[in-house]
Amino acid sequence: MSTPLSGPGSATQAPGREPAGSRPPRSRPSRTRDDAPISLTGLAGKVLLLGLTAGVAVWAAFPLIAAGMWPGLALLAACTAGLFYLYLTRRHIPAKYLVPGTLFLIAFQVFPVLYTASTAFTNFGDGHRGSKDDAIVAIGSSSVTQVPGSAEYALSIATKGDPATGALVFLVTDPGTGAVSVGDTDGLRRLDPADVTVATGGRVTAADGYTVLTVGQASSRSKEITDLVVPTPGGAVRSSGLSRAYEGKAVRAYDAGCDCVRDAETGQTWTADAEAGAFVAADGERLAQGWKVNVGLTNFTRVLTDENISGPFLSSLIWNFAFAIGSTGGTFLLGMLIALVLHSPRMRGTNFYRVLLVLPYAMPSFAMLLAWRDMFNADFGLINSLFGVNVDWFGQAWTARFAVILVQLWLGYPYMFLVATGALQAIPRELTEATSVDGASPWQSFRAVTLPLLLVALSPLLISSFAFNFNNFNAIYLTTEGAPFPADNPANGATDLLITYTYRLAFGGQGAQFGFAAAISLFIFAIVAVVSAVSFRRTRQQEEVYA
C-alpha cells in the first residue's frame, strides 16, 4: 500500500486547513451611487443652477405679492422647494432628468395653449385690454380739454430707454412752486430737486435715470407725445407742443349712480353693457374704451354666422387645404421621381446630381422666399424678363396662388428627394427583380411593390409635412403678404392661409382682435389634429397590410 508523498509539490494538505488556492479573494465593499463623491465641477454647477432658480423665484414673488395673488405665490414656493429637495438629495435619479423637460414643456407648450384657449372666449383686443376701472380712467383722460384757468407747466420729453423707441414720460415744472414731477400713464410723481437740473424758464435739462430728448428726437415722436395723457386727481396733463403742457378738465365723467358715462358739454350718456364690455349709447354708439369680459362662444359663432367673416373664412380654408395638399403632394411626387431616376443602376454621376439637387434645401428659406418674391415682380422680375411675358403675378388671385405653390415646390422637393432616396435604398432589389421575372412591367412593379413600401416608410413624414404647410406662415407672408386683397375686404387676401389671416387679426393695422384670433387658432388646431389623427390611423392599417 503506497502512501501519498508529502512535500512542496504534494497535493496533500494537513487536516482542517483549506487548500492554498481555494479561498476566494477578499473583495472591497462596493460603493453605491449614493456614496459616490461629487466632483468640484458638478458641485459648482449645482450651486449655480440652484442659485439661479432661487433668484428667479424671488424675482417672480414680488409681482405676485404686489397683485395679492396668494395661490400663485404658494405654487411658486412649493415648486421652488420641490426643485431644491430634488437636486439636493441623491434619490430620484430619473426625476432629475425628467423634471426640467417637463417644466419647459409646461412653460412653452401647455401654458400657451391653455392661455390661447382661455383668450378665445373673451373680447380681448384693442379697446378691451384692461378692467372696467381702467376703461373709466381712459375715457376721462382722452376727453381732457384745456379750459380757462387750466394750470400750465414747462415741459421736457424724456425716456428711460432708447430715445427712438423707449416709453415716453413728461418732466413738468410747476411755475408756482418750481417743483418737478415725472408723469406717465400711471400719473404724476414728484422728483427730488437734487436729481434734476432746471434751466431758466423752468424746463428740465437733465434728470437722474432719464434721458431728456432733444428737439429733433421729440419731433420724430410727436404723435406719441400728443397721445400721451397723464391722469391727475383734477383731470389730466397733456402736451401743448414740445415745451409746454397743461392740466385740463375731463369733459366725460363716470356716474356710478346710473353706471354710465356723461358728456358735460352735450349731455349724452353711454350706459355700461356688461356683456359687451363697453359703454353703449341709446342709438348703439359705443365708446372706444372698453374692458375685457367673457363672451362665451361669440368668437366661434362669428365664423359661421357673420356674413362678412364666414365667406372669406371658408374661401381661405379651401385655399389652405389646396395649398397644403399641393405643396406636400407636389414636392413628394417631384422628389420621388428624381430619387427613382438616380436610384437606377444605369445612372452615372449620381453623387454629383444629388449634391446639386440638395442645394435649394441648404439655402436659408426666408432668403430664398424674398428672392423668389423679387423674381416674380411685375416690373423688373426675372420670370417676366426671362420668358418675355408681362404678367402681374401677385396682382391676380390665381397667378399669385400658382406662384406661391411653385416656390414651395422648389423649396420642398430636396427634402422629399432625400427621404425617398433613403427609403428606396432600404427596399430589397430582389422584390422588384421577382416581379420582372413574373412578367410585370416597370410601371406594374413600381405600383405593386415600390410605391406601397415607400408610402409605409414616408407616410408619417407626409403627414407632418402637411401639418407644417397648413401653417406655413413664412411661405405666404414673405412672398405675397396675403395679396391680392379684394376692395371690400382688406383683412383677407386671396393667398392668405388661416395662419396669416389670424396674424392680421391679432397684429394688423385695423386694430388687434386677440380673442377672435385665438378662436381662429383653435379652429386651425382642431383641423390639423383631425386630419393627422385620421391619416395616422390609415397609416397603421397600411403598415399591418404590408408587414
Q: Are residues 109 and 215 in the same domain?
A: no
Q: Output the pLDDT for position 173.
A: 92
d(CA 343, CA 432): 13
Beta bridge partners of 260: 255, 271
d(CA 65, CA 427): 63
Which domain does 395 fall in, by range? 307-546
Query: Could you tell me if residue 466 is inside a domain?
Result: yes
Last residue of a domain, one of 221, 251, 281: 251
Query: Could you tell me if residue 440 is inside a domain?
Result: yes
Question: What's the CATH number where 198 sits?
Answer: 2.40.430.10
CA angle 267, 268, 273 (to 5 degrees): 140
d(CA 325, CA 462): 10
Question: What's the CATH number where 400 sits?
Answer: 1.10.3720.10
Query: Could you tell me if residue 131 is inside a domain?
Result: no
DSSP sequence for 436-470: HHTT--HHHHIIIIIHHHHHHHHHHHHHHHHHHHH
Q: Output the pLDDT for position 37.
A: 63
Query: Could you tell me if residue 267 is inside a domain?
Result: no
Q: Output the pLDDT for position 140.
A: 86
d(CA 325, CA 11): 86
User: In whole angstroms, how far apart are CA 246 and each of 148, 174, 190, 235?
Assistant: 11, 10, 17, 10
Last residue of a domain, one of 222, 251, 280: 251
Question: What's the CATH number where 96 sits?
Answer: 1.20.58
Q: Are residues 107 and 149 in the same domain?
A: no
Residues 6+ away with beta carbon under 8 Å from 250: 140, 141, 143, 144, 235, 236
DSSP state of 447: I
Q: Are residues 89 and 191 in the same domain?
A: no
d(CA 333, CA 30): 61
Q: Are residues 174 and 321 in the same domain?
A: no
Q: Are residues 232 and 313 in the same domain?
A: no
Q: Output the pLDDT for position 233.
A: 81
Q: Output the pLDDT for position 464.
A: 92
Query: Could you tell me if residue 383 is inside a domain?
Result: yes
Closest CA to 406 of 358, 368, 454, 379: 368
Helix, strand, or coil (residue 17): coil
- The residue length of the chain stands at 547
Query: Could you tell me if residue 76 is inside a domain?
Result: yes
Q: Are residues 454 and 323 in the same domain?
A: yes
What element of type H or E holds 67?
Answer: helix 40-67
DSSP state of 167: P
d(CA 408, CA 325): 11
Q: Output the pLDDT for position 360.
A: 83
Query: Could you tell me if residue 455 is inside a domain?
Result: yes
Question: What would the grid cell of residue 440 be?
Answer: 410585370
Q: Output the pLDDT for position 510.
A: 72
Beta bridge partners of 104: none
Q: Are residues 87 and 172 in the same domain?
A: no
Question: For the chain, how many helices (H) and strands (E)?
Answer: 19, 15
Write down the residue that cell numbers 388661416 correspond to. 498
DSSP state of 338: H
Q: Output the pLDDT for position 326.
A: 95
Q: Are residues 245 and 328 in the same domain?
A: no
CA angle 151, 156, 161 (to 5 degrees): 135
d(CA 461, CA 451): 15
Domain count, the chain: 3
Phi/psi at 429 (5° precision): -65, -20
Write down the residue that cell numbers 425716456 correspond to. 159
Q: Are residues 450 and 364 in the same domain?
A: yes
pTM of the model: 0.78
How does pLDDT run along the chain (547 residues), one tens digit per residue?
444 444 444 444 444 454 554 555 555 544 444 455 667 887 888 889 889 999 999 999 999 998 888 998 999 999 999 999 998 888 888 998 899 899 889 989 899 999 999 999 999 999 999 999 999 988 988 888 888 878 889 999 999 888 888 999 999 998 888 899 999 988 899 999 999 999 988 899 999 999 999 999 999 999 899 889 898 887 889 998 889 999 888 889 899 999 999 998 899 999 999 999 999 999 999 999 999 999 999 999 998 898 888 988 999 999 999 999 999 999 999 999 999 999 888 888 888 888 888 888 888 888 999 999 999 999 889 999 998 899 999 999 999 999 999 999 999 999 999 999 999 988 888 887 888 888 888 888 888 889 988 988 899 899 999 999 999 999 999 999 999 998 888 888 999 999 999 999 888 767 889 999 999 999 999 999 999 898 888 877 766 655 5
Q: Are residues 108 and 162 in the same domain?
A: no
Count the neighbouring beta carbons within 10 Å of the beta carbon of residue 530.
10
Q: Are residues 369 and 484 in the same domain?
A: yes
What element of type H or E holds 250?
Answer: strand 244-250
Residues 6+ away with beta carbon under 8 Å from 535: 459, 462, 463, 466
Query: Could you tell me if residue 381 is inside a domain?
Result: yes
Q: Are residues 465 and 386 in the same domain?
A: yes
Last residue of a domain, one of 119, 136, 155: 119
